[in-house]
Amino acid sequence: MNILVVAAEVAPFAKVGGLADMTGALPRAWSEEGHDVAVMLPLYGTIDVEHYGIVKTSHVVSVPVGYWTEYAEVWKGFLPDTSVPVYFLRSSEYFDRKGIYGYHDGFEDNDRRYLFFCRAAIETAKALGFQPDVIHAHDYHTAPCMPMLATQYRHDPFYAHTAGVFTIHNMAFQGMYDPVRAMEFGGFPPSEFYPQSWYEHHGSFNAMKAGIMFADKVTTVSPTYSQEIRWTNEGMGLQGALQKRAADLVGVLNGIDTSIWNPTSDVHTAVPFDVRTLAKKAVNKRALLREARLPSGAEAADLPVIGMVSRLTEQKGIPIMMRAVWDILEQRRARLIILGSGMREYEDFFLRAEERFPEHVRFVKGYNEPLSHRIQAGADLYLMPSQFEPCGLTQMYAMAYGTVPVVRSIGGLADTVTHYERSTLQGTGVRFHDYDESAVAYALDHALGLYNDEPHWTQVRTNAMQQDNSIGVAARHYLEVFSWARERHA
């Protein structure tokens, strides 16, 4: 199959969150299964062209925008250690800037930037002679590829048999644009925008809704989330649209790229280990404590370390964990090492905690890929009390590294972590249900109780490490969905 992936983030070139991990991992997996994959990504100003060996091609593609034409330069690189081409579309006007989406509220012209990118991606595939069987778009940024394919390109023999598959990674961001601008920049007839139309939601152009309505198949990143977005507020207002497409909506659980997230071969960690050499995890723990400038002597290393690597937003449940974590620190029952950035009030909380418990807390503000691996390898527990979580990858990384996840049982967290039971010795982590402070406190207390309680501590970590969450399963599930989608245009 020829698969064209169009995305606003692809690891390792441009990453804000898990979206990038998935768009980096899936193409590699499909290509290993013998499929032809091409990836399209904007050439953001922050991408290190030299480092990744990205070079300019001779292609300059004409991109219809409204009633005029703009241009995209095509640059080319490869996903690391693969032969999967990544085409970087360059437009100095839209992408030569610092940042991917722009801080806080995003760049003012994000509507125009991504509508341009979608159209440019479809034009570029044609210019390159890469005829996709499937265009796979991700999240609101590239959702407009779906209506573009269905209404502007299907009549073109080149795209007559191309199916459109749209994957929702997060319903919280929908791309609500000014309709006059969006319909024009997207090349959609203004008359197609009216109340209840496939582009409209509460008076705005809604990129996510258009993606959902025009795609041949819609997927989201876990089975539980695929239900939550239909039946609960997690649909963020688009429950109706999702109900209409219910027959074509599939939950495809994310997986992890074990060529990158693997405790036996991780280039960022102190020592490799696997389930048979779990004791070596202690070496990684001490290295992490040293790096965090926390006490790391034998006695100090006895205290459990709670790790977190996260965008610090409400989604990640920071408000409900503050009190429980503070109490535990006050009782000196654990250490906390957290890497992330985001909302000011959450950053301030971790700074305060660090100031108050200098020997127990380290908050590293910012984005740091190598450190994120060392936290996964060195921590004992991984806390993820999300308010909502479409899938979540970090709890899966934690499990792969024998770090016990403490999660709220919603979305993808419910699909990937099972609660450890002492009576059956089954389970891969600690789960709690309610979104409140006492539930987190109870779960953390339970998790700290497991620590040092042998044989359970070794058992839960072994179970976690033995769970197979590798990307191959997800990749094959997508291929099945692609085949169903293609039946419509055979």
- What is the full DSSP assignment across 229-281? HHHSGGGTT-HHHHHHTGGGEEE----B-TTTS-TTT-TTSSS---GGGGGGH
Q: How far is CA 325 from the centre of its chain?
A: 26
The enclosing H or E element of 475 equals helix 471-487
Burial 166-203 (b: 16+ CB within 10 A, else e): bbbbbbeebbbbebeebbbbbbbeeeebeeebbbbbee
User: By CB under 6 A, which span of 93-101, 208-216, 361-369, 466-474 interacts with ligand ADP?
Assistant: 361-369
Q: Which is nearer to ligand ADP, 26 or 393 (CB)?
A: 393
Cα–Cα distance, 482 to 438 (Å, whole number): 43
Q: Which of 101, 367, 442, 484 binds ligand ADP (CB under 6 A)?
A: 367
Q: How many residues does the chain have?
A: 490
CB atoms within 10 A of CB 105: 8
Cα–Cα distance, 334 to 361 (Å, whole number): 9
Q: Which of 131, 197, 259, 368 binds ligand ADP (CB under 6 A)?
A: 368
Query: Using the rule CB under 6 A, is 392 a contact of ligand ADP?
Result: yes
Determine the 3-state secondary structure of 7 from DSSP.
coil
- The one of ligand ADP, ligand GLC, none whose footprint includes residue 221, by CB under 5 to 8 A per kind, is ligand GLC
Q: Which of 12, 17, 45, 237 binds ligand GLC (CB under 6 A)?
A: 17
Query: Using the rule CB under 6 A, is 211 a contact of ligand ADP?
Result: no
Contacts (CB under 6 A) with ligand GLC, residues 296-335? none
The enclosing H or E element of 104 equals none
Query: Using the rule CB under 6 A, is 22 a contact of ligand GLC?
Result: yes
Q: Which is nearer to ligand GLC, 169 or 461 (CB)?
A: 169
In the complex, the smallest distance separating the C-beta of residue 392 from ligand GLC, rounded to whole angstroms, is 4
CB atoms within 10 A of CB 490: 6
Instruction: Compute how many residues bind ligand GLC; rule: CB under 6 A.
Output: 14
Q: Which is nearer to ligand ADP, 113 or 374 (CB)?
A: 374
Q: Which is nearer to ligand GLC, 68 or 103 (CB)?
A: 103
Contacts (CB under 6 A) with ligand ADP, residues 286-345? 309-311, 339-340
In the complex, the smallest distance separating the C-beta of residue 21 from ligand GLC, rounded to whole angstroms, is 7
Provide the mask over 139-178, with x wherever binding to ligand GLC is found by CB under 6 A and - wherever it is not: ------------------------------xx--------
Query: Using the rule CB under 6 A, is 409 a contact of ligand GLC?
Result: no
Query: Using the rule CB under 6 A, is 392 a contact of ligand GLC?
Result: yes
Provide the mask over 185-224, with x wherever binding to ligand GLC is found by CB under 6 A and - wherever it is not: ------------------------------------x---
- The one of ligand GLC, ligand ADP, none whose footprint includes residue 394, by CB under 5 to 8 A per kind, is ligand ADP
User: By CB under 6 A, which span of 11-19, 224-232, 347-355, 437-445 interacts with ligand ADP?
Assistant: 11-19
Cis amide bond preceding 455, omega within 30:
yes
Query: Using the rule CB under 6 A, is 230 a contact of ligand GLC?
Result: no
- The one of ligand ADP, ligand GLC, none whose footprint includes residue 9, by CB under 5 to 8 A per kind, is none
Cα–Cα distance, 290 to 90 (Å, whole number): 42
Cα–Cα distance, 168 to 173 (Å, whole number): 10
Cα–Cα distance, 6 to 76 (Å, whole number): 14
Distant-in-sequence, close-in-space partners of 182: CB < 8 Å, separation ≥ 6: 111, 115, 188, 199, 205, 207
Cα–Cα distance, 442 to 419 (Å, whole number): 14
Query: Using the rule CB under 6 A, is 474 a contact of ligand GLC?
Result: no
Chain residues that interact with ligand GLC, rule: CB under 6 A: 17-19, 22, 169-170, 221, 254, 389-393, 412
